[in-house]
Amino acid sequence: MGKESALRGTMLTVTRRYAAGIDVGEDGVRLVVMSKRLRANAAVCVEQLAFVPLPSGAVIDGDFIDRAAIVSALREAFTCLPSGGAWRALRCAMGLPASATVTTQVPLARLMEAREPLPAGAGSDPHGVLEPAVLAEAERATGVERAALAVDWSVQTGEDGQAQVSIAATARRHVEARVEAAAEAGVALSAIDGEAAAALRAMRH
């Protein structure tokens, strides 16, 4: 029977992709586990839902104040999951509140004009060209020094056909606190994302 269970778990891992989205709010920790078959246009299924309350003041305005309470709640939320099989390959993403994140879109042409001069021998890597300008724009939009920011960005084509750079920035302490608390709870994060998108983003990883 043990071998049959192990084989079933292996087959589930092969035929389905599993992911978890975690939201740590001021009232508690929410966990949603989703799955999707590995085929085009397959439906996304909700496998598990869990909520563990947090004591008042554990999280304030996105800041983790009581790390021990948050770690304990994370561990408790994950106890609802089976211990083996497909769940071992679970990809996890933790949400970041919108109040702690600044998002903006800037025309690519404007960033290219504002970019800092490249040092000799820097090559033609577009990320190397754009990154200083992106960081400068994130610093301007947030009012926080770039060294204290965590920044993500991508180049997309807008409705007018012009290239736009989408930038999301947050204080680095928010990202570090979430990664460290998850690690203490035995959870490896594959992404940090907006609250509503966290589980779906984990699915992509």
Measured between alpha carbons, how far is 29 from 23 in angstroms, rounded to an integer? 6
Q: 199 with 156, same domain?
A: no
Q: How many CB atoms lie within 10 A of CB 158?
A: 12
Q: 23 with 55, same domain?
A: yes
Q: 31 with 54, same domain?
A: yes
Q: What is the mean pLDDT of residues 191-195?
A: 74
Q: What is the mean pLDDT of residues 63-73?
A: 96
On whether the CB atoms of residues 150 and 134 are closer than 8 A, the answer is no
User: Residue holding tokens 């563990």?
Assistant: 52
Q: 118 with 93, same domain?
A: no
Q: 91 with 16, same domain?
A: yes
CATH of the domain at 69: 3.30.420.40
The one-letter code for the residue type at 168 is A
Domain that holds residue 128: 100-171
Q: 105 with 116, same domain?
A: yes
Q: 107 with 193, same domain?
A: no
Q: 20 with 88, same domain?
A: yes
Two tokens, residue 5: 């269970």
Task: Count how many Cα atoms sit within 13 Å of the Cα of residue 98 in the half-sphere of its side chain.
Answer: 4
Q: How many CB atoms lie within 10 A of CB 28?
A: 18
Which range, 14-23, 78-87, 117-126, 196-205, has the best average confidence (pLDDT)?
14-23
H or E segment and range at residue 128: helix 126-142
Which pLDDT tens digit goes with each residue over 175-190?
999 999 999 999 989 8
Q: How far is CA 176 from CA 33, 96, 107, 120, 173, in A?
A: 23, 11, 30, 34, 5
Which pLDDT tens digit goes with each residue over 42-61?
788 888 889 999 999 999 98
Q: Hey, is 163 helix, strand or coil?
A: strand
Q: How many CB atoms lie within 10 A of CB 98?
A: 12
The answer for residues whose C-beta is within 8 angstroms of residue 144's C-beta and 6 or more apart is 169, 171
Q: 9 with 60, same domain?
A: yes
Q: 7 with 92, same domain?
A: yes
Q: 27 with 124, same domain?
A: no
Measured between alpha carbons, how far is 46 from 27 in angstroms, rounded to an integer? 22
